[in-house]
Amino acid sequence: MQIISSSNQRNELYEKFKLKIIHNSCLDRSLVSYQGNRQTPFSSWFKYREGFSERLVTYLLQTFKLEPGVLIDPFSGAGSSLFSASALGWQTTGIELLPVGIFATQARIIAEKIDVESLNLEITKLKQINFQDYYDQLFIFNHLAITRGAFSSINEEQLVGYISYCNNVIPNKDISTLFLYAAFCILEDISYTRKDGQYLRWDSRSGRSKVNSEFNKGEILSFEDAINRKLKQITSDLNISPIQLDLFSDNLLLKFTTNKSNTVENIEPNLYEGSSLEILPTLQDNSIDFVITSPPYVNRYDYTRTYALELAFLGCSEEKVKYLRQQMLSCTVENRDKRNFLEEYYTAKGCYQDFLKIDSTFKNQAALQEILIILENNKKQGKLNNDNIVRMVGNYFYEMCFIIYELARIIKPGGIVAMVNDNVRYAGEEVPVDLILSDIAESFGLKTRYIWTLGRGKGNSSQQMGNHGRTELRKCVYIWEK
Ligand SMILES: C[S@@+](CC[C@H](N)C(=O)[O-])C[C@H]1O[C@@H](n2cnc3c(N)ncnc32)[C@H](O)[C@@H]1O
């Protein structure tokens, strides 16, 4: 494809969608993301930074579909969409690749039905013990290369003693899992590390030889303090009254009153552990009413590095972490091409024609091909700070084509897809993720109802889409319908 001017195709796409790009003042950052969000009790236990707020899910469901139906989130993370929707009576399914989100979701399912009295009793017993006394070699912390030295020796010894106690002494499996989850939630607090987007940042006190910065993360809690605080938070949230819960979310209030009065059926989320690229193609045509999701953004954030402590805690080996990194939707410079795999997978399922359609949609997305050529030129001129950025951007959209194709196939006519995502920029060149994905969605029969922008406004106009390093990038919620 011949590119005439550097932002021609993107400008054309902008013209196509400009009337759909609408600033939605109801959607501020605090409603959409975990970070600025007034958290509900359960979601505040574990800081899943990539999570979105449960109020956003309630807002979307109440705006578009008042009657409960079937909802799926193919990148369900810690499960915020699943829990808020099921509290409103929806039947929900989540797909999540990383054991981190899976464990957080399972722990919450357990927490929601735990016997609080028995839990309080076990906590009282726990207060009497010395964790080191229960230390069992069987439960040593199997570090990954990138987590070694993350804890002081006293914290690690206590952590292992506590894990051993949970596994060897606590008779009730659910309480033991919830106690283990409490330890999982404090790993960062008791370590020399801080999660920082693409990697783990190390505190200079760690003594790790490679650390040459002056970074100081502030107070590092002792294991004992941290676990006591976490368990206190968990029990006080579980003991909380419906009136108090209302301070956090109408949705949760409904859930609690629901549990007691049985007026709305509260169905447990159904969870798949694995890649959406493999699981979505196994789901039935026209079977879903609503998709609410936030895929990884094409921003180089590597969840397998930032959540390395949690992955090690969950027993993931070095090989398993590398495998997960490659299975993730391509959003890091290390992700390799999944084209051959997808071709074989679709062929084996007897869906080769679908594969060809998806593959050609990718190749014919003109604005995307324009960006890939520009990025390739930037790479040749040494203007990218990592050469694999071009590959990452290409693979990201390639895989998203498969995801969107499958979503368009599985939702019912009249069904809605709501997707949260941010635009990005490399070498000063804007990648209008919102416009490209919406155009791909339209190729597969979806209609773009809105591209709602958050934050200050509409972001770049078409004239600014070329190399303008300082202009605001859109952060959006796209609404597509079938
Ligand atoms: C932006 S986060 C979504 C967080 C979620 N909305 C929440 O509230 O917790 C994207 C999620 O997609 C997951 N993920 C990445 N690649 C995946 C894949 N191929 N299949 C399924 N999940 C994947 C990541 O592990 C991450 O949890």
* CA 97 to centroid of ligand 1, rounded, Å: 7
Average pLDDT, integer, range 193-210:
83
Give pLDDT tens digits for 97-134. Answer: 999 999 999 999 999 899 999 999 999 999 999 999 99
pLDDT confidence tier of residue 17, bands split at 50, 70 and 90: very high
Say what the pLDDT of residue 211 is: 58
Say what the pLDDT of residue 44 is: 84
* Whole-angstrom distance, CA of residue 201 vs CA of residue 220: 14
Provide DSSP, 403-425: HHHHHHHHEEEEEEEEEEEE-EE
- pLDDT, the chain, mean: 88
Mutate-to-test residue for ligand 1 from 34, 324, 329, 342, highest number of ligand atoms within 8 A of CB: 329
Q: Which long-range contacts (CB under 8 A, 24 or more apart) does 191-196 make?
A: 191/150, 191/151, 191/155, 191/220, 191/309, 192/149, 192/150, 192/151, 192/152, 192/217, 192/220, 193/147, 193/150, 193/217, 193/309, 195/49, 195/306, 195/307, 196/306
Give the pair of three-digit tokens for residue 457: 């406004």
Could you tell me which residue, 468 or 245, shows the higher pLDDT? 468
**CATH for 8-97+248-296+331-481, options being 3.80.30.20, 3.90.1150.10, 3.30.70.141, 3.40.50.150:** 3.40.50.150
Pocket lining: 303 vs ligand 1, CB cutoff 6 Å: yes
Q: Is the pLDDT of residue 351 over 70?
A: yes
Say what the pLDDT of residue 170 is: 96
Say what the pLDDT of residue 66 is: 77
Residue nearest to atom 17 of ligand 1 (CA): 328
Count Cα atoms within 13 angstroms, Cβ side, for 429: 24
Q: Is the pLDDT of residue 33 over 90?
A: no
State which ligand 1 atom lies nearest to the alpha carbon of 98. Answer: 25
Say what the pLDDT of residue 380 is: 94
Say what the pLDDT of residue 198 is: 74
Place of tokens 């949970």: 166
Q: Is the pLDDT of residue 443 over 60?
A: yes
Measured between alpha carbons, how far is residue 66 from residues 83, 85, 89, 270 in Å? Answer: 16, 11, 10, 21
Pocket lining: 328 vs ligand 1, CB cutoff 6 Å: yes
Say what the pLDDT of residue 35 is: 55
Domain positions in the chain are: 8-97+248-296+331-481, 116-239
Q: Which residues pair with 477 in a beta bridge?
A: 420, 452
Q: Is the pLDDT of residue 433 over 50?
A: yes
Give pLDDT tens digits for 40-54. Answer: 678 789 988 777 778
Mutate-to-test residue for ligand 1 from 56, 71, 75, highest number of ligand atoms within 8 A of CB: 75
Pocket lining: 95 vs ligand 1, CB cutoff 6 Å: yes
Residue nearest to atom 7 of ligand 1 (CA): 51
Pocket lining: 96 vs ligand 1, CB cutoff 6 Å: yes
Pocket lining: 51 vs ligand 1, CB cutoff 6 Å: yes
Pocket lining: 329 vs ligand 1, CB cutoff 6 Å: yes
Say what the pLDDT of residue 266 is: 67
Pocket lining: 189 vs ligand 1, CB cutoff 6 Å: no
Average pLDDT, integer, range 90-94:
97
Pocket lining: 77 vs ligand 1, CB cutoff 6 Å: yes
Give pLDDT tens digits for 313-345. Answer: 999 999 999 999 999 999 999 999 999 999 999
Give pLDDT tens digits for 285-312. Answer: 999 999 999 999 998 999 999 999 999 9
* CA 179 to centroid of ligand 1, rounded, Å: 25
Give pLDDT tens digits for 230-289. Answer: 999 999 898 754 444 444 444 444 444 334 333 456 689 999 999 999 999 999 999 999
pLDDT confidence tier of residue 135, bands split at 50, 70 and 90: very high
Measured between alpha carbons, how far is residue 41 from residues 94, 233, 235 in Å? Answer: 20, 9, 10
State which ligand 1 atom lies nearest to the alpha carbon of 48. Answer: 9
